[in-house]
Structure 1
Amino acid sequence: MEVTAARRSFLCDIGFWADRTALHEAASHGRTLQLKQLIENGASVNMVTVDNITPLHEACIQAHPNCARLLLEAGAQVDVRTIHGSTPLCNACAAGSLECAKLLLDYGAKVNPSLTALTASPLHEACIQGANVNSVKFHEMALHHAARVGMVEMIELLVEFGANVYASDNLGRKPIDYTTPASPSYTCLRFYESNPLSLQQLCRIAVRRMLGTRASEVLSQLNISHRINSYLQYCDRPISLQTYT
């Protein structure tokens, strides 16, 4: 079914929607072989349900990185939102899947997406307002989800890719407000709030913003030393919790 212009705007120009498909089911249950076969047979990786959930959302919320990789390689949109405003990166963080989160970031997922309300039909607006009253997940960013599940490595990964530790959700809460005082995730976020990003981190974020997923390819073609190349790329693990003081 072709959608109207207003709905197409809400769906990030995907253009078609359907009830839950075989692709959604395969992604949700981690059936990699079936997913691969469906894609090879021409199934659309960007098909959305009426609540705007894509197969990529399903793969990430169920923590199936192999399925997510197949979908992304086949052209799945990395930043598409559900009717509640969640991106696949939010789903990956909510599920505590570091592998899915890293994969999405490698494919250019935004860590600080716009938190403004999306254009939608009256039905979608009604659903969104209901979600706003009954769920704190509306208008949360990936870092909020990572803080909620208490995954320090996930928090580090997101901040290293430019996540804003001061961003507020629809309840006015920062990521640190979803942690327990003195917990590792609280200590981690407090560290990032109290210490500015290093020059290396700022350079890496700037390169990523300018070049996106082409960063590695472009940098490898430049006549620069290996040390400078390593300095500008995400080839190192984020700083460990043991360095927080």
Structure 2
Amino acid sequence: MEDPYVFGDIGSWAERTEVHKAASQGLVDQLRQLIADGAPVNIVAVDSITPLHEACIRGQSQCVRLLLDAGAQVDARNVDGSTPLCEACSAGSLECVRLLLDHGATVNPALTSRTASPLHEACMGGQVECVRLLLSLGASLEASDLYHGTPLHVACANQHTACVRMLLNAGANVNASRLHETPLHYAAKARQAETVELLVEFGANIYARDQRERRPVDYTTPDSPAAACLRAYERAPLTLQQLSRVAVRNKLGTRALEVIGQLDIPKLLIGYLSFQ
């Protein structure tokens, strides 16, 4: 019995070719034979899904390699504007991601009104290793899509603290705004005390107000850990560690942010102040 087709609501298997089917289901020998027989590897379905998209959605790395070696368009876009790299990042298939990048996939494709970047997709699924790889290749930290905001917004909304930390250490704008909502608003809505604390440690504005004039704390439930965390920050001044981190980030800019977590920040701040 064939596996049912489960990608989205658009299209059906009746609209897919045998190449799509083989790529999606990991039928390597069948796909190799289809290619040898001259089947087009860049054929698209009504929603502009290519066989390469299908293989990446399911993390079928062997099929991805076959398609790419046969000339599949590495940056083809589907009807939503997503590239195969977006799909591989969403699936968390590091092997597929590496194959696509080795064949020239664009790390920062132009965003359309309907799509997110590969980094957005990796953050949405909490795919830490994909996030790490994309950041090492210069993925845009401030790319903002219509529905989600920046990758940091996405990571906070989806409760992926490890991704949040990685983005912040790479220099993501902790107070980036989407409709006046900051990542801290998103973390508060998700009731993630650990993420809330992490954002504040990196300089998040606890008093920022969204378009409804609501602060992050206004989205927490009373007596929740996230609410207690924000209330505590409201009552107490920033610690030396927090002040140090903000001062160093402002002074050095994003190029030195990756090493900040390894520094003795209070001593660095004292040294910095002694020269002022």
Q: Provide TM-score, normalisation by structure 1.
A: 0.64
Indicate if the aligned counterparts of 1:57 and 1:91 stay in contact, CA closer than 8 A. Answer: yes
Indicate if the aligned counterparts of 1:144 and 1:178 stay in contact, CA closer than 8 A. Answer: yes
* Distance across 2 between alignment mates of 1:149 and 1:114: 16
Indicate if the aligned counterparts of 1:160 and 1:201 stay in contact, CA closer than 8 A. Answer: no
Indicate if the aligned counterparts of 1:27 and 1:35 stay in contact, CA closer than 8 A. Answer: yes
1:92-121 C-alpha deviation (Å, 9 max, x unpaired): 001111111111111110101266xxxxxx
* Aligned twin of 2:180: 172
* Distance across 1 between alignment mates of 2:172 and 2:199: 11
In the TM superposition, what is the alpha-carbon distance from 1:197 to its structure 2 partner?
4.2
In the TM superposition, what is the alpha-carbon distance from 1:151 to its structure 2 partner?
2.0
* Aligned twin of 1:33: 62
CA gap 1:68/1:108 in 2 versus in 1, 3 angstroms: same
* Aligned twin of 2:254: 205
* Distance across 2 between alignment mates of 1:46 and 1:107: 16
In the TM superposition, what is the alpha-carbon distance from 1:69 to its structure 2 partner?
1.3
* Distance across 2 between alignment mates of 1:161 and 1:28: 27
Which of the numbers 63, 66, 76 marks the counterpart of 2:105?
76
Indicate if the aligned counterparts of 1:157 and 1:238 stay in contact, CA closer than 8 A. Answer: no
Gaps of at least 5 residues in structure 1 are 1-15, 116-136, 207-231, 240-245
**Structure having greater relative contact order (Cα 8 Å, sep ≥ 6):** 1
Moved over 3 A (4+): 194-204, 236-239
Identity of aligned residues (%): 31
In the TM superposition, what is the alpha-carbon distance from 1:87 to its structure 2 partner?
0.7
* Aligned twin of 1:229: none
* Distance across 2 between alignment mates of 1:28 and 1:22: 10
1:164-221 C-alpha deviation (Å, 9 max, x unpaired): 010111x321001112456111111111126344648975833xxxxxxxxxxxxxxx
Please report the RMSD computed on the Cα atoms of aligned residues, expressed in angstroms: 2.8
Mapped pair 1:193 → 2:203: yes
| Count of aligned pairs between the two proteins | 176
Gaps of at least 5 residues in structure 2 are 1-41, 205-241, 263-276
Mapped pair 1:100 → 2:110: no
Matches within 5 A, 1:143-162: 143-162=152-171
What amino acid maps onto 1:84 in structure 2?
R
1:122-141 C-alpha deviation (Å, 9 max, x unpaired): xxxxxxxxxxxxxxx62510
Report SS of the residue matched to 1:179.
helix
Report SS of the residue matched to 1:193.
coil
Mapped pair 1:141 → 2:170: no
Indicate if the aligned counterparts of 1:17 and 1:50 stay in contact, CA closer than 8 A. Answer: no
Indicate if the aligned counterparts of 2:88 and 2:97 stay in contact, CA closer than 8 A. Answer: yes
* Distance across 2 between alignment mates of 1:17 and 1:153: 38
The structure having more radius of gyration, on CA atoms, is 2
In the TM superposition, what is the alpha-carbon distance from 1:84 to its structure 2 partner?
2.3
